[in-house]
Copies of this chain bind each other. A is one copy, B any other.
Amino acid sequence: MKSNVTMKDIADQLGVSSVTVSKALNDKEGVSVELKAKIKQVAEGMGYRYNTLAKQMKEGLTYNVGVIIPERFTGLTQTQSFYLNMYQSIAKELEKSGYYGILHILNRADEDKLNLPRIYNEKRVDAFIFLGQINKTYIEKLQDVEIPKIFLDFYDEQADIDAVITDNFYGAYEMTNYLIKHGHREIGFVGNLYSTSSIQDRFLGFYKSLLEHKIELNYAYVIKDRNEHGAFIDLELPDKLPSAFVCNCDQVAHHLVNKLKVLGYRIPEDCSIVGFDNDIYATITEPSLTTIEVNIQEMAKQTTKSIVEKIQNNNQSFGRISVKGKLIYRNSVTKVAER
């Protein structure tokens, strides 16, 4: 069980050349069936482990993909398991294709100073997946990056970079339709419209539903949930509450429900509330939240498929892929009360 057994060692053992050993172990043409079997058997016996580095060097490919998550989405504060779950799914999918995902947390300083990850400068990865919205200026800086890259869970219209996103627009649209079907006409939205493209699109889907139903958008009902750094802020409620709120995510819906309960409102009797994401906050909220489930696995699958294709086919562009979510019906919505 020596650790540094090479093909040459196996070759010497059998009195053949290392070329033949290479062919045999890789199941390539040009080795007799018997010799191939013999070689494999000896390799096994000698405890041979294939040295990927040599192949990588020959090809100039690492078979690693960098997955970059901005630090602000990863705080050790309980939340955001969404991104880690996504990373996990990606790691699994990549492995199926013979690739490996290297996680890099992009800290705020590097993001501000436009420092590219070291894994890039050391040629440790063949491509990048950016998971979670990054700064505008950093996105511009990415023009310099000469390997394939994909945005995941956000996109940028300026930069011509392929993206895989959840169908935020349609999800919020469907959700709002659902509320309207329940008689709601005064519906608020909770989220900072200038924070991320996801929130923006969810807002626009919400707005589209209002437009279709000829319901006027009341900006007094649009409530900011976070500051420009993405940190949650205290929710400022309007004097008069709408009969329902569409929240841009479950966590904020959770905050809102708790805040309203403290103020003496009953949910959903006095106010219906819906979330987005179907993360842990959807089920721990009392009442449990009607929400949109993001299809993490499908998103990971699409992302992996696309990035592998880009690596193998000359970085071809595919544009933007929207992965549909699914409406999950729970207990935070009721028919609008007669007033």
Contacts and interface: CB of A to CB of B under 8 A. Distances in A.
Nearest to A279: B78
State the oligomeric state as a number of copies. 2
A165 B100 CA distance: 27
Interface stretch (A52-60, A208-216, A237-245, A320-328): A52-60
A330 interface: no
A1 B76 contact: no
Interface string A22-50: 00000000000000000000000001011
Interface residues of A, number: 50
Interface in A73-108: 74, 76, 78-79, 81, 84-85, 87-89, 91-92, 95, 100-105
Contact of A84 (B51, B81, B95, B102): B81
Nearest to A55: B122
Contact of A283 (B78, B105, B279): B78
A88 B105 contact: yes
A57 B54 contact: yes
Nearest to A76: B85
Contacts of A52: 122-124
A313 interface: no
A89 to B, nearest CB: 7
Contacts of A100: 102, 119, 124
B122 A50 contact: yes
Contact of A121 (B50, B92, B95, B119): B50
Interface in A135-159: 144, 146-147
A64 B101 CA distance: 11
Contact of A123 (B1, B53, B123): B53
Contacts of A147: 3
A267 to B, nearest CB: 15
B50 A57 contact: no
A95 to B, nearest CB: 7
Interface of A: 1, 3-4, 47, 49-54, 56-57, 60, 62, 64, 74, 76, 78-79, 81, 84-85, 87-89, 91-92, 95, 100-105, 118-124, 144, 146-147, 279-280, 283-284, 296-297
Closest 4 CB pairs of A and B: A81-B81, A84-B84, A78-B280, A52-B122
15 contacts: A1-B144, A3-B146, A4-B60, A49-B120, A49-B123, A53-B53, A53-B62, A76-B297, A78-B280, A79-B280, A81-B81, A84-B87, A91-B103, A92-B105, A280-B284
Given A74-B88, A84-B84, 8 more contacts: A50-B121, A51-B122, A53-B56, A57-B57, A78-B279, A84-B88, A100-B119, A100-B124
